[in-house]
Amino acid sequence: MIMEKERLLIVEYGKKMSTSGLSRGTAGNISIFDKDQGLMAISPSGVGYFETEPEDVVIMKLDGTIVDGKRKPSSEYGLHAGFYKAKAAEGCLSVVHTHSDYATTLACMGEPLQAVHYVIATAGTHEIPLCPYTTFGTPELAEMAVAACNDGQAVLLANHGLVAFGVTLAKAFNLAGNLESLAKTQWQCMCAGKMNVLTKEQIDAVKVRFQTYGQTKPAAGTTNSY
**Which stretches of the chain bind Zn ion, using CB under 5 A?**
161
> Minimal CA–CA distance to 94: which of 6, 180, 19?
6
- Closest contact distance (angstroms) between CB of 133 and Zn ion is 12
Q: Work out whether the CA dihedral 141, 41, 112, 18 comes out positive or negative.
A: positive
Q: Is 76 a catalytic residue?
A: yes
Nearer to Zn ion, 82 or 117 (CB): 82
- Closest contact distance (angstroms) between CB of 128 and Zn ion is 16
Using an 8 Å Cβ cutoff, are 61 and 124 in contact? Answer: no
The residue type found at 36 is D
DSSP 109: H
| Three-class DSSP labels, 12-63 | HHHHHHHHCCCCCCCCCEEEEEECCCCEEEECECCCCCCCCCHHHCEEEECC
Active-site pick, 12, 76, 111, 143: 76
Nearer to Zn ion, 44 or 161 (CB): 161
- Closest contact distance (angstroms) between CB of 48 and Zn ion is 16
Terminal-to-terminal C-alpha distance of the chain? 50
The residue at minimum Cβ distance from Zn ion is 161
DSSP 150: -
Measured CA to CA, the distance from residue 207 to residue 203 in angstroms comes to: 6
- Closest contact distance (angstroms) between CB of 144 and Zn ion is 14
Nearer to Zn ion, 39 or 156 (CB): 156
- Closest contact distance (angstroms) between CB of 137 and Zn ion is 8
Count other C-beta atoms under 10 Å from residue 5's C-beta: 11
Nearer to Zn ion, 156 or 182 (CB): 156
Nearer to Zn ion, 73 or 161 (CB): 161
Active-site residues, by number, are 76
